[in-house]
Structure 1
Amino acid sequence: MQEIERKFLVNSNAYKSEASKSKRISQGFLNSHKERTVRVRIIDDKGFITIKGKSSESGLSRFEWETEIPYEEAKTLLKLCEPGRIEKTRYYINVGQHIFEVDEFYGDNQGLIVAEIELANEDEAFEKPNWLGQEVTGEVKYYNSMLSTHPYQSW
């Protein structure tokens, strides 16, 4: 249950025409402590709860556990979350042997677009599409838990 992920800013909207699908996401945090986060998420009409551990020193990997929960329970749990809900559309783009997940944020994070790619190991090679910008892996201010309390528009 170790997640290895790299995160990048996106430098154009070209990813939208390459997306195979997109989903609307609403999420909140029951706990956003730096040692662990507990997230409640609704993706379209499905609910999820996720626990993430502290990131490695490089910011590339951390423990992640997620399970689906009933939609109505997720809606109820969102009401118990800390202030600062995250609203975004996630686009899924196949690039070579990988899938990039590109998040376009709304609300207080409007204007921020971030791409993530999950890898099998920290040194795994992958193709970089033209719309991929600066790498921000390990930069805490780009974590969703941080964006919920320190939104992009306040930087």
Structure 2
Amino acid sequence: MADKPGITTVVVFLGPNDPWDMPSTARHGHYLKFRSPAWEEDYRGRIRSILDAAKAHDVRVIWIGPPATKRERLSAGILYLDQLFQSEVEQAGQTYISVDKLFHYHDHTYSETMERNGHEIRLRSADGTHFTPTGQRVIAEAVMKTLRPDLGVPPSP
């Protein structure tokens, strides 16, 4: 952001590869156990560093929350991360978009499809983690609507 002063908005989408033990930012060579208090403190610090950098450069943040996945263990970890992201982003006064809500997932329950405009659309690829082009479009439309609510971006079928 310092090198590109014209940036006004950053869209962040992290998390599906993160629900694991990770190296500590404070102690070289030391790993933090996923969900431990030290892990959460370190991870929240990483989230805040992104938000603080944006604030320092007067850049708006749109943070996209990771949705449920087909793999239950991974999905449980992602739900935990989603809660961390949402609380830090909202506390910073930035915009948070829940993909679970966009995809009509109730209680973080995975589904490959959803009904939209009277049609069933496929949102997720066969691996149960990645998105189809249609799923990507649903997310992009939400981002565009957040950026420019006056555009009234029409939903795709």
After TM superposition, the score normalised by the length of structure 1 is: 0.27
Q: From the two aligned structures, give the one with the greater strand fraction.
A: 1
TM-score (structure 2 length as normaliser): 0.27
More helix by share: 2
**Whose Rg is larger?**
2
RCO comparison, higher one (Cα < 8 Å, 6+): 1
